[in-house]
Amino acid sequence: MSLELLQVRKSYREPGGGLLPVLEIDAFSIPQGEQAVLLGQSGGGKTTLLNVISGITTPDAGQVIIDGVDVTRLIEPARDRFRAERIGFVFQTFHLLPAFTALENVLLGMSFAGRADRTYARQLLERVGLGKRLSHRPSQLSVGEQQRVSVARALANRPRLMLADEPTASVDLANQTNLLTLIRETCREHHVSLLLVTHSPEVSSQFERVENLQEFNRAGMHR
């Protein structure tokens, strides 16, 4: 199993002092290599779920098992390292670093895992169709190109799991399908499991496995 969530609970403290439950997931899993889409409305806990899975946020309770490792039991530096090595992230607004070229943005993620491989970074960028844009900065790239760089960056450390948070939200319709195809194909080529969250039925319709977050997140059901 690539990803397994067991009895995961996460609440936020409200300004009034009360607790607002955001995640109450009893069980959720993705087998290795599978691609799943998680459909949910804004404020439904999608981003919190991705943060909990990636170890950015720790859950109040439960287990998050990735590639056989319970991420919740790792201390923070080990979690950071685990995230760098095993999880790829594609953000809604790409989050490319403006000071770095396309190639450097890909290399940056590799550096934090301690294995910067310039040849592989170049290959990845060539794979996403940016072989001739290696030394361009984000400001010199189109929105679609920027998102492709972020896909290459997510794959840089040969992760076991890719998390994509609304990756097509900032891209125009014409580019949406291309981008989705790219993400799905590259994940398949690298045997990476994919969990993509979106609120768009158009996006989810392209996946075989579609989960509705509200259906298995009991915290969402309460609201």
Partner 1 sequence: MSLLTIALKSIRQRWVPSFLTGLSVALGISLMIAVMILNGVVTNIFQQSGSGYDLVVGAKGSDLQLVLSTIYHIDNPIENLPWRFYKELSELPYVKQAIPVNIGDTTEVGNFPIVGTTPRYFLVDYIPGKSFLIKGDGLRGTWDAVIGSQVARRNGWKIGSQFKMVHSGQADHVHDELFTVRGILAPTGTPNDRTVFVHIDGFFALAGHDKPIEEAIAREAKFYGESEEQIREFYKKDLEEIARHQHEEAEDHAHHHHHHALSDLQKEVTSVLIVMKGDEGYQVAGNTLFLQTKLKDGFQAQGANTVQVMSRLLTNLVGNVRLAFLYLTSLIIAVSGIGIFVSIYNSMSDRKKEIAVMRALGARRQTVLSIIMLESMLLCVLGGLGGILLGHGLVFIASPIIEARSGLLIDPVAFDPLELIVIPGLIVMAMLIGLIPGLTAYRTDVAESLQG
Point out which residues bind partner 1 (CB under 8 A). 47-48, 51, 54, 56-57, 76-77, 80-81, 83-85, 89, 91, 95, 97-100, 104, 107-113, 116, 153, 157
Residue 205 beta carbon to partner 1: minimum distance, rounded to whole angstroms: 27
Distance in angstroms (rounded) separating the CA atoms of residues 182 and 164 = 12
In the complex with partner 1, the residue whose CB is nearer, 48 or 186, is: 48
Residue 209 beta carbon to partner 1: minimum distance, rounded to whole angstroms: 25
Residue 68 beta carbon to partner 1: minimum distance, rounded to whole angstroms: 19
List, in order, residues 6 or more apart from 48 with CB less than 8 Å away.
10, 22, 23, 57
Residue 214 beta carbon to partner 1: minimum distance, rounded to whole angstroms: 20
In the complex with partner 1, the residue whose CB is nearer, 103 or 213, is: 103
Residue 30 beta carbon to partner 1: minimum distance, rounded to whole angstroms: 20
**Contact (CB, 8 A) for 137 and 100:** yes
In the complex with partner 1, the residue whose CB is nearer, 112 or 216, is: 112
Give the three-class secondary structure for 194: strand
Give the three-class secondary structure for 116: coil
Angle between helices 102-112 and 118-127 (to 10 degrees): 130
List, in order, residues 6 or more apart from 7 with CB less than 8 Å away.
25, 26, 27, 61, 62, 63
In the complex with partner 1, the residue whose CB is nearer, 84 or 207, is: 84
Polymer length in residues for the chain:
223
Distance in angstroms (rounded) separating the CA atoms of residues 4 and 87 = 14
Residue 208 beta carbon to partner 1: minimum distance, rounded to whole angstroms: 28
Distance in angstroms (rounded) separating the CA atoms of residues 13 and 31 = 33
In the complex with partner 1, the residue whose CB is nearer, 111 or 181, is: 111
Q: Residues 67, 68, 70, 73: is their CA dihedral positive or negative?
A: negative
In the complex with partner 1, the residue whose CB is nearer, 37 or 107, is: 107
